[in-house]
Structure 1
Amino acid sequence: MGLTYKRILVAVDGSQEANWAFQKSIEICKRNNASLVISHVIDTRTFATVEAYDRTVAERAEKYAKQLMDEYKFRASQAGITEVTTVVSYGSPKVKIAKDIAPRHNVDLIICGATGLNAVERFFIGSVSEHMTRYAKCDVLVVRTDKD
């Protein structure tokens, strides 16, 4: 078994942390000559708070996800990554990526940003990155920003 990665998944949500993770994924893809899966999960729990499930909220989230994917895909191809797949999914990001998207795309490395939760939030809901490291069947790289 080689020490190179063939298929790398980067989880993006539009945050600065995710952007750092994306940039790191480009570097690692190039070093390993790997293909890239860019994934964004629309967190359906945010819709639950809306009174009568407002359709426009979902539509805005979908539109945003598409713009995000188009932008990241363009940046990846500009950087010379030839095989890029984008995946938009619905549900809980931390569950979807580790247990569904990564296995379905035969990913051998997941890259994500360190999320900015405070200690109390992390205690109650657990961070996305923490959950991925626990449940993913492959390696997980949590990228820290220079702020840390």
Structure 2
Amino acid sequence: MPYQRILLAADLTEENLQVVEKAVRLCSTYNAKLVILHVIESLNYAYGGDVPIDITDIQLQLHTSAQEKLDTLCEQINCPVDKAIISQGGIESEIHRIAQEHDSNLIVVGSHGRHGLALLLGSTANGVLHGAPCDVLAVRVKN
């Protein structure tokens, strides 16, 4: 069954361009719709609870910066983007939620190929794989 709706989970870094290129090629091959998602991990979530300072301004700056990078990415790729989304929360859970909301057939995510302790503790790609509502393609990111 060909993929019709592909969700690209983008971290908006230079090394993530390999992942973007793979998602664009898949969209072209299958004539699929592309949704790009960038998740800003909530600082409260990242630190396991309450942060003792007001982080509203920091979160706003993170969102503004991410929006600029996402807009630039959408302009640069050679593929129509059905939707570009910035979400905030737990990375894996937000990717799962958006994939389900948009009825995605495939999630494309970058993988750094960690070894040893980093591998045992898990990774974003591993977290996305477990509990995903569809297929997941982990693209090896070469440094």
Scaled by the length of structure 2, what TM-score is found? 0.85
Matches within 5 A, 1:17-56: 17-44=15-42, 45-46=45-46, 51-56=52-57
Q: How many equivalent residue pairs?
A: 140
RMSD: 2.1
Q: Tell me which amino acid in the other structure corresponds to 1:96.
A: E
CA separation of 1:116 and 1:91: change in aligned 2, threshold 3 A: farther
Aligned to 1:105: 102
CA separation of 1:57 and 1:46: change in aligned 2, threshold 3 A: farther
> Deviation at 1:117?
5.4
Structure 2 unaligned spans of 5+: none
CA separation of 1:85 and 1:136: change in aligned 2, threshold 3 A: same
Please give the secondary structure, in 1, of the residue aligned with 2:120. helix
Deviations 1:73-127 (A, max 9, x none): 1123xx1x234211111101111102x1000001000000004656434434x21
Q: Tell me which amino acid in the other structure corresponds to 1:74.
A: E
Identity %: 28
Matches within 5 A, 1:1-148: 3-44=1-42, 45-46=45-46, 51-76=52-77, 79=78, 81-98=79-96, 100-115=97-112, 119-124=116-121, 126-147=122-143
> Deviation at 1:57?
1.0
Deviations 1:111-148 (A, max 9, x none): 00004656434434x2110011111121100000234x
Structure 1 unaligned spans of 5+: none
Scaled by the length of structure 1, what TM-score is found? 0.83
